[in-house]
Structure 1
């Protein structure tokens, strides 16, 4: 594995890395490796995001189906039809 040397690292940053390593029970090298990898995932994910054609078609179909649902249907969620007790029946 390639060795990487960090020079002139800020003490505050080094302290934060040490705290992560201590909390997780990792060596400093393992913590640095993990943080570098996760940081790369986060930065790589900042690029433009979008759907491919098949995903966009499925999403559009789902939106169209939801648009066809009557407005009052959601107000009925959790309600029991004919929940009014009849005379003489316990509540």
Structure 2
């Protein structure tokens, strides 16, 4: 999420890079949408509470998405918009 915020690539580019380069079955944004961005946020909070390291704090983009109710597939929108025939990047996200 921080790489996306910093402009490293688009959602689709980062997801594709992690699949191709790291051998992951899905990219990090697809995975977060699948398990739920609210779950991802809760995990980040727990890690930050335990270790007090900035790298574990919720990224700003995740806080924004949770405030908007963009929990991922179960809500129909997260990093990707699932309300159409095929998922497309969420047009409401900006860097």
**Same fold per superposition (TM over 0.5):** no
TM-score of Structure 1 vs Structure 2, range by shorter chain: under 0.3
- TM-score normalised by the chain length of structure 2: 0.20
Larger Rg: 1
Q: Which has the higher strand share?
A: 2
